[in-house]
Chain A
């Protein structure tokens, strides 16, 4: 992942945003596996992830990719891992190459699914004003 590309998506970076992204990952990579970057805890199914507590998450395309990344093998296949980082005003997706067809589709899904969640939160601010 060294040398990866940061893609910054405006959004409220909370558990709901992470769930939205992870659901897309699981859909595109049905055998995806996940890892809490801060604790190292691993999850074979996104439903097991404590989404309200995780701020940074690795998503591997499958168990093989996870093993390759864990072993820090130089032959880890490109775009076999996403690094999702939550911030108050955005979600950052770190990937090897955002220009492949698979990654373009996934990033577009992230942007679209996160967009209404962001606007919902702005509605709250409007309601409170």
Chain B
């Protein structure tokens, strides 16, 4: 484990009220190592899906936090919710400015859970849509981070925001 990255990640988590994620009785280092691996997976998933390299190192996240602290807080809260790199890329893409074009949730008690979220750049058409899928019911909690509003009475999910602040 890169000690510098681990230290920056620890600071980011504590600064954003998420120290509990690493304050485990067994080992803080283990938790940090696991989260760093998760961030690597998010970077790989982003490269695979979007065909561009975005760094999800703690250093890169800290740089974004200097300009947009609420975005990193929202992303770290998502990191606490989901183990899915795909869902975390979805979160990142919304934070980058994509619109939430469609949300489909299918749940049947003790049987199935399916979540599909379709994103698109606000100015472009269907060809640019990106679909993200999950069958992990814990990922339903991500939807709570969408801001809810209406425009001319029509429903709108807009943005991905921190659910609680420091």
Contacts and interface: CB of A to CB of B under 8 A. Distances in A.
A24 B151 contact: yes
A51 B158 contact: no
Contacts, number: 82
Interface residues of A, number: 31
A120 B151 contact: no
B158 A27 contact: yes
B96 A47 contact: yes
Interface string B150-166: 11100010110111110
Contacts of B147: 20, 23, 113, 116-117
B123 A30 contact: yes
A57 to B, nearest CB: 14
Contacts of B69: 15, 52
Contact of A45 (B97, B151, B164): B97
A124 interface: yes
A75 interface: no
B67 A112 contact: no
B19 interface: no
Interface string B64-102: 011111110010000000000000000000001101000
Interface in A70-100: none
Nearest to B162: A16
B70 A109 contact: no
Nearest to B73: A16
Interface string B111-152: 000000000001100000000000000000000000111111
B150 A52 contact: no
Contact of B97 (A12, A20, A47, A123): A47
Given A105-B152, A113-B149, A124-B164, A23 B159 contact: yes
A19 B122 contact: no
20 contacts: A14-B70, A15-B68, A19-B70, A19-B71, A19-B161, A20-B149, A23-B147, A24-B149, A27-B122, A27-B151, A50-B68, A52-B66, A52-B68, A105-B152, A112-B150, A113-B148, A116-B147, A117-B147, A121-B165, A123-B164
Given A16-B161, A121-B165, 5 more contacts: A15-B70, A19-B71, A20-B161, A23-B159, A112-B148
Which A-B residue pairs are the 6 nearest by beta carbons?
A50-B67, A113-B149, A47-B97, A16-B70, A112-B149, A15-B70
